[in-house]
A and B are shown apart, each in its own frame.
Chain A
Amino acid sequence: MKGHLARPVSIIGAAYTTLGDVRSTPEIKDFSEHELYAQASLDAMADAGIEAGDIDAFYVGMSGPNYNSKIKSAGPHFSEWVGMRDKPTLFHDEACATAGFGLNQAVMAVASGTYDCVLSGAVNISFSVPKPAYPPHLRVAQDPETMWAGIWTGIDPAYEKPGTGGIGPVEAIIIRYAKQYGLTYRQIDEVLVNYLVAQRRTAMLNPKAALARVTYEDEAARFGFSDVHEYLFSNKYNPPLGTLIRGRFMGASTDGASAVVVCASEVARNYTDQPIEVAGFAMGTALQKRFMNVPVPSDVAMFKQAYQMAGITDPLNEVEWMGIHDCPATMVPPVSEAAGYIEEGQAWKYMLEGRVGFDGDKPIDTDGGRTQTGHPGSPAFGVEVAEAVYQMRGQAGPRQIPRPPRTSVIWGGGTGFNLAVSVLKTA
């Protein structure tokens, strides 16, 4: 029957690496894509209590492999690094939603009975690229022009690229949101700046957030600002990329990797006492022009499908945690409302009032999100899944929300646009 899994599937392990710069961050210093992928994958296996011998296949996601890492069809390159010699792989690229598609494909493979257990990971290095034709430990700085040109190859060159810059859709959607709910540009700026300040405080509680080591308040003071908001409103320190999108509203680029291990729920407890069921999921597409709509039609369709699969009829009361790919932060209001997690037209108020933090009543991105904990590219969705898993198990440490969520929803979007949703439930 369409829209239902043939057998239940659970996440038994999840992990991600320190998010930083392989040229300078101590925990990942001198790592290549191989070590990053291996670190996240072996950590996810350890988290699951499983060894590679019990895993049937491994998936490798990477955004822009040709321009970032100078490789292609590279799944096999990583096989022996995770103990999967000769086993099947899938190498895929759905930009920043890559890890979501990897998770969903793994769930389908297990649900179909093709495999019992699958490792699905993703890795990206953004700040540096391998010296052409040499082993990947010999790296040179990524040329920003080449990187941005590579990112823009994710925009349809036939009918969209001549008409838009990259910032277009993620600004257009918040302008449309402002129109729909009567908000001024200044109000939107305040909402997003408030969100940034709160998320930085959260990220400082996350040891994997290598780039978030001081509060925005301290950072503002260092540049002579007594008011953190004025600091983040300043065009000098938070430069506009459009009218409403500023540099710091975007994800903070990092290097890193994430991984999850999924298996048939019937054997999940052989490995862990706390399996998390993937109760529903969905995938979709949206050309850039579709972001003139609030909500984006494919988001509506995805949440409907995923909730139906998961048996959720009242997301406002049933969903207790949400992960949103907040690059940029402008996606939080329209997506949280499309998900039915927050009432229509209200999300901006929740962000302004600090109610989406780990101590709020509608927690979102309690790892610190992509703007503050960092945006590693293709692994992003996996970071959000890992945070959901840790929160649901009650293992999120100082970021733990008071009552571990029983149902979590993750939304991811990646240039193209590729869209993915996962619904997790405490098994």
Chain B
Amino acid sequence: MSALEPYIKKWYDSLRAGQILGVRCNRCGAYEFPPVPVCNTCSATDVEWAPISGNAELYSFAYSEMGVAPYTDEPVMCGYFKLAEGPELISWLMNADESRDAQEALLARLPVAVRAEIREMDENISWPVFRLVE
């Protein structure tokens, strides 16, 4: 196994620079996102950095009354997303109506298309969040 890079720092630095990166396996083509140094589909360690399209589907969601420390004390709608490239991610769903009725209506339509964008969470961290495409 060759020497690893500092994956986490590189990923957050790239988000800060406006890029959403994952890694793609050079053996089976599967993506890992956020990036890790080994393919969880075929176990290969021959992976390389690759951009993510930002296209995804919302599969489930959870409404956090507690907010997400240390970034906000306000309630957050957290989405469970599956990227077009395959990997899964939890993040913020930015433009959903949080009322119970609206949530039930959204639930009936799952999965629905969403699109990633980079949000500056605070002075330290940027993070990929998602919006409903409609």
Contacts and interface: CB of A to CB of B under 8 A. Distances in A.
Interface of A: 27, 29-32, 34-35, 38-39, 42-43, 45-46, 51-54, 80-85, 131-138
B3 A81 contact: no
Contacts of B3: 27, 39
Given A45-B1, A133-B70, A135-B12, A38 B43 contact: no
Nearest to A30: B6
Contacts of A54: 43
Scoring A39, A43, A83, A135 by chain B CB atoms within 10 A of each residue's CB, the highest score goes to A83
Interface in B53-79: 69-70
Interface residues of B, number: 23
A39 B4 CA distance: 6
26 contacts: A29-B6, A30-B9, A31-B6, A32-B9, A34-B7, A35-B4, A35-B5, A35-B37, A38-B36, A38-B38, A42-B4, A42-B37, A52-B38, A52-B40, A53-B42, A53-B43, A80-B36, A80-B38, A81-B36, A81-B38, A83-B40, A83-B45, A84-B40, A131-B124, A135-B12, A135-B125
A134 B37 CA distance: 21
B69 A35 contact: no
A32 B8 CA distance: 8
Contacts of A138: 124-125
Contacts of B133: none
A132 to B, nearest CB: 8
B110 interface: no
A208 to B, nearest CB: 12
A134 B43 contact: no
For the complex, would chain B's binding face be called helix, strand, loop or mixed by DSSP majority? Answer: loop
Interface of B: 1, 3-9, 12, 32, 36-40, 42-45, 69-70, 124-125
Contacts of A29: 6
Contacts of A83: 38-40, 43, 45
B38 A34 contact: no
Contact of B4 (A31, A53, A131, A135): A31
A140 to B, nearest CB: 12
A83 B40 CA distance: 5
Contacts of B43: 51-54, 83
A32 B124 contact: no
A172 B37 CA distance: 46
Contacts of B42: 53
The 8 closest A-B pairs by CB, nearest first: A30-B6, A51-B43, A137-B9, A83-B38, A85-B40, A53-B43, A46-B1, A42-B1
B9 A38 contact: no
B37 A38 contact: yes
B70 A135 contact: no
A138 B6 CA distance: 12
A346 to B, nearest CB: 42
Given A31-B6, A32-B9, A52-B40, 18 more contacts: A27-B3, A30-B9, A31-B4, A34-B8, A35-B4, A35-B7, A38-B37, A38-B38, A42-B37, A42-B38, A45-B1, A46-B1, A51-B43, A51-B44, A52-B38, A52-B43, A80-B40, A83-B45
Contacts of A30: 6, 9
Contact of A43 (B1, B32, B70): B1
Contacts of B6: 29-32, 35, 137
A30 B6 CA distance: 6
A44 to B, nearest CB: 9
Contacts of A81: 36-38
Nearest to B3: A27
Contact of A35 (B8, B39, B40): B8
B1 to A, nearest CB: 4
A3 B42 CA distance: 38
B69 A133 contact: yes
Nearest to B122: A134
Scoring B3, B8, B69 by chain A CB atoms within 10 A of each residue's CB, the highest score goes to B8
B125 A134 contact: yes
B45 to A, nearest CB: 6
